[in-house]
Amino acid sequence: MDNSALSSRQGSPSAGGNRARAKVVAIVVVVIIALTVLAILRLAGGNADPGVTAADDTVSVKVAETVIGDIEVTSVHTGKVTSENEVNVVPKIPGRVLSVAVELGDKVEEGDKLFEVDPSDVKSQEEQARIQSDAASKGRSAAASALKDAKKARKNAEKSLKDIEKQIKETKRAIKDAEQSDPAGAAALARAQAVLGQLEQAKAQTEAGIAQAKAGVTQAQSAYDQANAQYKLADSAVSAAGNAVDETTVTAPISGYITGITVQKGGMVSQAMPAVVITGTGKIQIMTTVAENIVGRISPGDSADILIRAVSDEPYRGTIRQVAPAPPTGQTTYPVIVDIDDYGKNLNPGMFAEVTMVTGRADDVCLIPSGAIMIRDGKEIVATLGAGDKVEIREVTTGIDDGENIEVVSGISSGDRVVTEGQHYIDEDSKVRVTE
């Protein structure tokens, strides 16, 4: 075998290996170039692969269209079913109970006996009052007699004064006559002048006696007035004690049913709490209370829904009859009475009730979902979408909010599109995508 043939056989494998390595290198280069191009496209915001989404700052939002409609706000309050003429019977006389004539649930008529309080103490007080009245009566009689004597003494003194003045007048006339008569009458003149002096002295004494008699009358009158006042006071005490004896037997002030009773035989009763509660057979009503932020929003004549779960799952219709102008002493809520329009025969006093009242209402107003409202820098704002879904931030003034929708008084109009979800992540430069 020659050298050329040997060289040809030995060179063939070397050529094949070179071609394989060149092919691998070419593939690696192509992959590198492809990856480089893809990275460049991504950095440039391109999309080299239809299945790969490039990153962007678009915000997905949901919107709602502003509508014109009605809105109302309600408030629920707990209450109790009562009768229009329910009465708490409080005894006028405290004491130990001798007997009880009724039981819970009994029907009573007006005037029926309810219970009796021991009259022993009251009768003792009545006897003492009579003794004091008798003493006051005697004192008044004595004062009246003294006043009568004082007035008589004054009258006698005044009569004596008139008699003396008459005598003085006659004596002065006699003196004048004597002065004009014969000198032989000088002795008679002297006697007349002496009598006149005595009369003048008697007049002065009588005038002093009249002054003293008048003072005695004034003093006697004062003593009589005081005695008379004491007698009247004692007599009133007798009458009060007599009435108190009668009031130890407590009777029903109205006809109805006994719905509460705290009194028992042998126990004590006082004016501190009702002993018996009587519920009349009159109109059924609901007693409830409202807070001060509610009381100004309701008025007599307003309708209300009354739910009494003990008898029905459906509410009764009611009408507010009375709203108290002020809370009771020591309380902060205002009593409200609600009449039940048609209650049938199933309702009983004492049942628990839930009263729903309308505390705010607006008709034909601009409404949007409550969640659309945002607070920024202390202002109420909404995000709206205009043409081309351009974001616009608007300041609004709101009104009634029922928790689902809210009234917008100003800032947007009917038909405006308001962002209801995603609004906290956008501003007027944001790009948005509206989703269902």
Q: What is the 3-state secondary structure (H, E, C) of 350-366?
A: CCEEEEEEEEEEEEEEE
Domain that holds residue 272: 89-117+251-279
The 8-class DSSP code of residue 404 comes to: S
Q: How many separate domains does the chain show?
A: 4
Q: First and final CA of the chain: distance in angstroms?
A: 87
- Per the CB < 8 A criterion, the answer to whether 72 and 360 are in contact is yes
Task: Give the CA distances from residue 184 to residues 84, 112, 178, 195, 331, in Å, rounded to whole numbers and listed in that order.
Answer: 110, 104, 9, 19, 107
Q: Are residues 28 and 95 in the same domain?
A: no
Answer whether residue 66 is part of any domain.
Answer: yes
CB-based contacts of 202: which residues, under 8 Å, 6+ apart? 164
Place of tokens 């003194």: 157
pLDDT at site 23: 66
Residues 311, 301: Cα–Cα separation, whole Å? 25
Helix (H, G, I), strand (E, B) or coil at 59: strand
Does a structural domain hold residue 45? yes
Does the predicted TM-score (pTM) go above 0.85? no
Helix axes 186-246, 120-180, angle to 10 degrees: 170
Residue 240 belongs to domain with CATH number: 1.10.287.620
- Tell me how crowded residue 43 is: count the other CB atoms within 10 A of its CB: 8
Q: Which residues fall within 8 angstroms of residue 310, CB to CB, at 6 or more apart?
A: 351, 352
Residue 68 and residue 28 share a domain? no
Could you give the residue ranges of the DSSP H alpha helices within 261-420? 292-295
Choose one of 203, 230, 246: the last residue of a domain. 246
Q: Is residue 293 part of a domain?
A: no
CA 198 from chain centre, in angstroms, equals 86
Confidence (pLDDT) at 420: 94
Query: Are both 140 and 239 inside the same structural domain?
Result: yes
Is there a contact between 258 and 89 (Cβ–Cβ < 8 Å)?
Answer: no
Segment-wise mean pLDDT, segments of 10 residues, the chain, 436 residues:
42 52 65 67 46 62 94 93 86 89 90 90 74 84 87 87 86 76 66 82 86 87 88 78 77 89 91 88 86 92 93 91 93 93 75 93 94 93 93 94 93 93 91 89
Q: Residue 374: which residues within 8 A CB-CB, separation 6 or more? A: 380, 381, 382, 383, 423, 424
Work out the number of other CB atoms within 10 angstroms of the CB of residue 162: 10
Q: What is the pLDDT of residue 2?
A: 45
Length of the chain: 436
**Claim to verify: residue 97 and residue 146 sit in the same structural domain:** no
